[in-house]
Amino acid sequence: MKEREVIIIGGGAAGLAAAVACKQKGIEDILIIERGDYLGGILQQCIHDGFGLEKFHTSLSGPEYAQRYIDQVKEKEIPFLLNSMVVNLTPQKEVVVANSNGLQHYRAKVIILAMGCRERTRGAIGIPGARPSGIYTAGVAQELINLKNYMIGNKIVILGSGDIGLIMARRLTLEGAEVITVAEKLPYSSGLSRNINQCLYDFDIPLLLSHTVVDIEGNGRLSGVTIAQLGKRGGIIPGSKRKITCDTLLLSVGLIPENELSREAGIVLDNITGGPQVDERGQTSVPGTFACGNVLQVHDIVDNVSLEAEYIVEGVARYLEGKLIKEQEIKVELGEGLRYVVPQKLISRKDTIFSFRVNQPGEKKILVFEDGKKVIKKKSLRRVNPAEMVRVKLSSSELEGIKRLKVRLV
Amino acid sequence: MHREFICILCPNSCRISVEYEGTNIKNIKGDGCPKGKDYVKNEITNPLRVFTGSVLVESGNFSLASVKTPVPIPKKYLKEIGEITHCLKMKAPIKIGQVVAQNLLGEDIDLIATRKVNIINK
């Protein structure tokens, strides 16, 4: 059994930023374990620009953003394994890795979970109909087109208005395909407004809100889909069904944090985020095991993933120094208007960044933090949208002496 | 004339409400930062976008190098530049920022690489 101070599972945006931050904190004995054959994770296939505005104050493409961290990892001589899959993780922080050298066993003082997320598939949303080829999740299509040089189709319908679907609508158009429409089940888009503007409207691609795919046809290859309009309660509006001839269907219908390993290690998960329940520094229910990035909660901006990774490393460093002292534990209670909050609990009263997603779009809202009847902090939000994560920092002086903590949107 | 714009320059996606005549902005609301006004000015006169795409690479550890225009270009050229990238080919190794093509369409449009590609010996 090989011993390491910190093992980071995943070499994507979160894992790389966590590794660099660990080294900057003086932690020397780090190992990044990556299952793919390159570092950078999903960033390598996100060739569009718009990354890094907050972190680097310039607009970068995904590979450029990743390279900034990869360069630092190499410069700081942080060890990493590629083509190496963690197949087992225990509460004792033992890690079993499978790669071309067989199985290797490690034990770490700290584990940082940075496995990212995966896409929901056709099976997850239960679209009826035939089972032809030509149905891809948006991220897989992105990988095939941007990394493998494989064009996926010519006449395309996209279901779901998540950001990857929107980005792919533009990408496919610029690659010469015809994107017929983007259908979204909800009455509002689940992607960022700027992506609707520059990826759909720029190319006159219609966005059909409150629409979904209700049937799939095709023998061998997809030959068409039927879309229908949904009423206020989500039922199909009679007479609204319409067949669209196409050869490809892209699904951009949500992301699921990849927590099979966490579950095996007995880590308590949050039913809503799909990620581990954590304290204010990203520590899970297993002491010394931390989580950051999309495995903790799905982010819409990579800069926030890097910032979150750097932020939880504060906790990692304190844990290794034996200074992560547990004061009275408080559960963060969720009030109206909000879908989730991270962290789910506080074990100290140090400065804490809270992340939220709201239930539905709205304007002129106020986020209220309360200790019983006492208001601790209020934050006004000009516009809220479930597609956009809200991040708010509470200082140690604001949190000092609180008995309870409830947050709600009014 | 009144129109609402969604600024694409950052994830804030500001909704900017503009009163204008021809190319003359008379009243502007909702621009969260100074870039908003410039964005709207361009949208009214000559909308600009950064092109991103990819180019085939020989003997690299990635088979495609991602590319972009170093500055935003007129939106009307995006599709044509996309077609051009299909015909380009590069050889590994490739550095980020390396010039891939210059003065495309005679419009002073350049492409630079945005992915580091290492050489592999097969």
| Residue A303 sits in the same domain as residue A338 | no
Q: Which residues of B touch A59 (CB under 8 A)?
A: 50
**Residue B19 and residue B31 in contact, taking contact as beta carbons nearer than 8 Å:** no
- Asked if pLDDT for residue A58 goes beyond 90, the answer is yes
Which residue in B49, B51, B62 is closest to A147 by CB distance?
B62
CA distance A285 to A322: 17
The domain that holds A393 is classified in CATH as 2.60.40
Residues 6 or more apart whose Cβ sits within 8 Å of residue A229: A208, A210, A211, A236, A237, A240
Single-letter residue type at A300: D
| Residue A134 sits in the same domain as residue A220 | yes
**Residue A182 and residue A195 in contact, taking contact as beta carbons nearer than 8 Å:** no
CA distance A14 to A253: 22
Closest CA to A408 of A385, A384, A382, A378: A378
Cβ count near B85 (within 10 Å) = 21
Over the range A352-371, which residues count as b (16 or more CB within 10 Å of their CB) and which as e?
bbbbbbbeebeeebebbbbb
- Asked if pLDDT for residue A131 goes beyond 90, the answer is yes
Among the three residues A296, A324, A352, which one is the final residue of a domain in this structure? Answer: A324
The model's pLDDT over A248-295, given as tens digits with 9 standing for 90+, comes to 999 999 999 999 999 999 999 999 999 999 999 999 999 999 999 999
**Residue A64 and residue B114 in contact, taking contact as beta carbons nearer than 8 Å:** yes
pLDDT at A323: 85
Question: Would you call A47 and B116 a contact, using CB atoms and an 8 Å cutoff?
Answer: no
The model's pLDDT over A80-113, given as tens digits with 9 standing for 90+, comes to 999 999 999 999 999 999 999 999 999 999 999 9
Q: How far is B108 from chain A (nearest CA, A)?
A: 20
Q: Can you identify the CATH homologous superfamily of domain B52-113?
A: CPE0013-like (3.10.530.10)
B69, B70, B75, B81 alpha-carbon torsion, rounded to 10° = -20
CA distance A294 to A283: 15
CA distance A139 to A251: 9
Single-letter residue type at A12: G
Question: How do A2-9 and A30-33 pair as beta strands?
Answer: parallel
**Residue A109 and residue A88 in contact, taking contact as beta carbons nearer than 8 Å:** no
Residues 21-50 of B with CB under 8 A from A: 47, 49-50
Tell whether ipTM is more than 0.90: yes
| Residue B83 sits at the chain A interface (C-beta within 8 Å) | yes
β-bridge mates for residue A298, sequence order: none
Give residue A327's pLDDT band: very low, low, confident or very high (50, 70, 90): confident
Q: How far is B103 from chain A (nearest CA, A)?
A: 19
**Residue A184 and residue A211 in contact, taking contact as beta carbons nearer than 8 Å:** yes
| Residue A47 sits in the same domain as residue A58 | yes
The model's pLDDT over A205-237, given as tens digits with 9 standing for 90+, comes to 999 999 999 999 999 999 999 999 999 998 999
The phi and psi torsions of B42 (rounded to 5 degrees) equal: -65, -40
DSSP strand E in A259-397: where?
289-291, 330-334, 338-342, 345-346, 352-358, 362-371, 374-384, 390-394
The model's pLDDT over A156-183, given as tens digits with 9 standing for 90+, comes to 999 999 999 999 999 999 999 999 999 9
Average pLDDT over residues A149-158: 97
Q: How far is A20 from chain B (nearest CA, A)?
A: 20
How many residues comprise chain B?
Answer: 122
A–B interface: beta-carbon pairs under 8 A: 90
β-bridge mates for residue A370, sequence order: A375, A406
Cβ count near B32 (within 10 Å) = 15
For B76, what's the count of Cα atoms within 13 Å in the CB-facing half-sphere? 6
What six digits make up the tokens of A401? 């002496």
pLDDT at B122: 59
| Residue B89 sits at the chain A interface (C-beta within 8 Å) | no
| Residue A94 sits in the same domain as residue A138 | no
**Please, where are the H alpha helices in chain B?**
35-45, 78-87
Q: Report in angstroms the alpha-carbon separations of A37 from A19, A81, A169.
A: 18, 9, 27
Question: Would you call A47 and B83 a contact, using CB atoms and an 8 Å cutoff?
Answer: no
Over the range A239-269, which residues count as b (16 or more CB within 10 Å of their CB) and which as e?
eeeeeeebbbbbbbbbbebbbebbeebebeb
Question: Would you call B114 and A63 a contact, using CB atoms and an 8 Å cutoff?
Answer: yes
Give residue A77's pLDDT band: very low, low, confident or very high (50, 70, 90): very high
CA distance A60 to B109: 18
| Residue A192 sits in the same domain as residue A151 | yes
CA distance B1 to A224: 41
Cis peptide, bond prior to residue B72, ω within 30 of zero: no
Q: Which residues of A touch B10 (CB under 8 A)?
A: 50, 53, 194
Only one residue has tokens 């979160």, namely: A14
CA distance A101 to A104: 8
| Residue A358 sits in the same domain as residue A409 | yes
CA distance B3 to B47: 15
CA distance A193 to A203: 15
The model's pLDDT over A305-319, given as tens digits with 9 standing for 90+, comes to 999 999 999 999 999
Question: How do A80-81 and A30-33 pair as beta strands?
Answer: parallel
The domain that holds A225 is classified in CATH as 3.50.50.60
Q: How far is B102 from chain A (nearest CA, A)?
A: 19
Mean pLDDT computed over every residue of chain A? 96
Q: Which residues of A touch B78 (CB under 8 A)?
A: 174, 202
What six digits make up the tokens of B63? 């088979």
Number of domains in chain A: 3
pLDDT at A190: 87
pLDDT at B70: 97
| Residue A138 sits in the same domain as residue A240 | yes
User: How is chain B split into domains, by residue range?
Assistant: 2-45, 52-113
Q: Which residues of chain B carry a pLDDT beneath 50?
A: none
Cα nearest neighbour of A61 on chain B: B114
Cα nearest neighbour of A199 on chain B: B8
| Residue A248 sits in the same domain as residue A372 | no
Domain containing A197: what range?
A: 121-253
Judged by phi (left if over 0) then psi (alpha if -120 to 50, else beta), residue A355 lies in beta
For chain A, list residues whose CB is within 8 angstroms of any CB belonging to chain B. 38, 44, 47-50, 53, 59-64, 67, 145-149, 173-176, 192-194, 196-198, 202, 300-301, 383, 388
Predicted TM-score (pTM) above 0.90: yes
Q: Which residues of B touch A49 (CB under 8 A)?
A: 50, 52, 68, 114
| Residue A125 sits in the same domain as residue A230 | yes
Average pLDDT over residues A23-41: 97
Q: How far is B80 from chain A (nearest CA, A)?
A: 8
Among the three residues A236, A253, A270, which one is the final residue of a domain in this structure? Answer: A253
CA distance A119 to A210: 21
